[in-house]
Structure 1
């Protein structure tokens, strides 16, 4: 079987919109299937490796993908995609032969709570973002040397942005809004630092006004050069575009549930 993205799309369509699984031809390369799914959904989490299940696997990490195979799973990797888990790898069939498998299951993402104020009266938008995306992994880049980055840039950076990078690492919200691991400076002459972007070539920036970076407003530099200001900071902006259908840059029209597509390898 020639393994192309069209082939993968066809296989997923055969599984349907609900929970389902299938054993595939032994001639299919399971690693090739994983590579195709990586390019579509981002880095996978390994649930089972060489027959041993990660003991931390639960519903928030794709445990539903393992149910069809019982103790017959050999290697299973999981991808989060909106309200769906996608899994692939190998498992023993009824005759005890190890074969490639593809499996899908419903992904439950908790409803984000109303943004509650902190003790100082401000909203913790990063905490809300964790709930919106259903993020349950450990911090991906907890040891970023921000002193070195800020010294090189010549400016301190907003604290919510630093928390986003430390928590999520390299990747994109809903596989679309890509988080820069440090700000881009290509529009610094315009007073802008770029903290994220999209495939539509919109740049998500801060207007670097004043000495307090936690008060820098978000500005969208559109693909045609227009600057669109927003009176909020980065984490709040991401929360709003994910959940508010009326937001001018909304992503809520495309997905009912949201996730962060990690580009890093997740063990």
Structure 2
């Protein structure tokens, strides 16, 4: 069976929007399917390996994908995508033979925070970002040596940015906004440090003025070289572009729910 992203679309469409699973044709290459899902959703979480289920698996980590197989799952990997879990791997069929499977399940995400709070509200923007993305995984990079990074860069860095990197790790919001694991210095001559970017070649930076990084404004260097300033922190900026349809760089029109695509396997 030849596998393309179109084939994957057809297989998922057969399962429908709710919970479902299917045993795959014997001539389908499971490794190729996994690679296609990787390219679409990012690195998966391993739920079951060689018949042993990760003891941390629960509803927030894709546990619903295992329900159809009871104790018959052999190897299952899972991807979070908006309000859906997608999984593939192998499981023993009722007759006892091991078969490749594709499975989907509903993913509970927090109620979308439709309106960003007013500027004068006291908001923990990182906690808000967790809620918007439905992030329930443990911190991905809790041991970053920020002292070394800041020494090498010659400057302290905003605390909310450091929390973002520690919490989410390497990946992209909505599979679109890539979070740099340390700031890029490509625009340093312009007084800018780049903390994120998009496939449309927009660069999200700070105007690194003064010795109070938590007060640095965000500056978007657009693909045409224009600089657009925003009086907010990096975490607030991400929250607002995810949920505010009026924001000039909004992503709210593209997705009904929001998530963080992690590029590293965490299971």
Pairwise TM-score range, normalised by the shorter structure = over 0.9
- Secondary structure, in 3 states, of the residue corresponding to 1:252? coil
Query: In the alignment, is residue 38 of structure 1 matched against residue 18 of structure 2?
Result: no
Distance 2:116 2:123 in 1: 6
Distance 2:235 2:196 in 1: 11
Aligned pair count reads: 264
Residue 97 (structure 1) shift: 1.0
Cα 1:124–1:115 shift into 2, 3 Å: farther
Distance 1:144 1:249 in 2: 29
Query: In the alignment, is residue 130 of structure 1 matched against residue 130 of structure 2?
Result: yes
Q: Which residue of 2 aligns with 1:17?
A: 17
Distance 2:105 2:256 in 1: 16
Residue 242 (structure 1) shift: 1.0
- Secondary structure, in 3 states, of the residue corresponding to 2:129? helix
Moved more, 213-222 or 90-99: 90-99
Q: Which residue of 2 aligns with 1:59?
A: 59
Distance 1:82 1:247 in 2: 21
Distance 2:161 2:79 in 1: 25
- Secondary structure, in 3 states, of the residue corresponding to 1:86? strand
- Secondary structure, in 3 states, of the residue corresponding to 1:34? helix
Is contact 1:195–1:204 with CA below 8 Å preserved after alignment? yes
- Secondary structure, in 3 states, of the residue corresponding to 2:70? helix
Cα RMSD after superposing both structures: 1.7
Alignment of 1:146-185 (within 5 A): 146-185=146-185
What per-residue deviation string (whole Å, max 9, x for no partner) do you get for residues 100-152 of structure 1? 100111111012568899xxx84211111111111111111111111111111
Query: What TM-score do the two structures reach when normalised by structure 2?
Result: 0.94
Q: Which residue of 2 aligns with 1:236?
A: 236
Q: Which residue of 1 aligns with 2:213?
A: 213
Distance 1:123 1:16 in 2: 38
Cα 1:115–1:9 shift into 2, 3 Å: closer
Is contact 1:115–1:124 with CA below 8 Å preserved after alignment? no
Residue 218 (structure 1) shift: 0.5
Query: What TM-score do the two structures reach when normalised by structure 1?
Result: 0.94
Distance 1:153 1:100 in 2: 48
Is contact 1:115–1:128 with CA below 8 Å preserved after alignment? no
Q: Which residue of 2 aligns with 1:111?
A: 111
Q: Which runs of 4+ in 1 moved over 6 A?
A: 113-117
Q: What stretches of structure 1 of length at least 5 have no aligned partner? A: none
Q: Which residue of 1 aligns with 2:83?
A: 83
Distance 1:51 1:68 in 2: 15
Is contact 2:74–2:92 with CA below 8 Å preserved after alignment? yes
- Secondary structure, in 3 states, of the residue corresponding to 2:71? helix
Moved more, 210-219 or 68-77: 68-77
Q: What stretches of structure 2 of length at least 5 have no aligned partner? A: none
